[in-house]
Amino acid sequence: MSRPASEDPGGRAPGAAPDDHVTPGAVPDDRAVPDDRAVPDDRAVPDERPDGEARRSGLRNPEAAVRGLGAGTLVLEAIVLLLAIQPIRLLGGSLSGWGIGAVVGLAVVALVLSGCMRRRWAWPAGTAVQVLLLAAGLLHWSLAVLGLIFGAAWAYATHVRRSILS
């Protein structure tokens, strides 16, 4: 049986922690780092542009978000291109060894470009990949359809890039 709170010498309720209780590993308030001495985050983006105009997007790092969109589009395109080879061959497509090599080459270029999105030349090179995929429609009509689909996705990614970074 527990004693009533009035019998507790400190006047605390039963089961309450004593006042001098310190959690192991806790930093006492007098040793805590004040906010004005906090270490800045090097990756943080300032709230305003140098010319005083507020950021247009609400993103913390809009450049990284745009790079991720472009890279994701190219990776998805590469996967779809590689997965499209076998159905084209089985459904009566006349893809020769050169045609298969061209599709694999486009997929490899798209994968390499997805890792190079920090470079200034990667966006125009991605546009060139879309044009080449559309031209691969001469090998089989389904590649032209993929070229139209991924060309539209790439056009959207470049539109988002312009609207966020401008």
Q: Tell me if 119 is assigned to some domain.
A: yes
Total number of domains constituting the chain: 1
Q: Tell me if 23 is assigned to some domain.
A: no
Residues with Cβ within 8 Å of residue 81, at least 6 apart in sequence: 103, 104, 106, 107, 110, 133, 146
pLDDT tens, position by position, 75-133: 999 999 999 999 988 887 778 889 899 999 999 999 999 999 999 999 999 999 999 99
Distances (CA, A) of 110 to 33, 98, 148: 47, 18, 16
Q: Tell me if 53 is assigned to some domain.
A: no
Q: Is the pLDDT of residue 144 over 60?
A: yes
pLDDT tens, position by position, 15-57: 655 555 555 665 555 555 555 554 545 555 555 555 555 556 6
Q: Tell me if 8 is assigned to some domain.
A: no
> Domain containing 144: what range?
62-165
Q: Tell me if 81 is assigned to some domain.
A: yes
54 beta partners: 48
State mean pLDDT over 151-163. 96
Q: What global pTM score does this model have? A: 0.65
Q: What is residue 5's predicted lDDT score, i.e. its pLDDT?
A: 52
Q: Tell me if 36 is assigned to some domain.
A: no
Q: Tell me if 28 is assigned to some domain.
A: no
How is residue 158 written in tokens?
Answer: 């470049």
Q: Tell me if 68 is assigned to some domain.
A: yes
State mean pLDDT over 152-164. 95
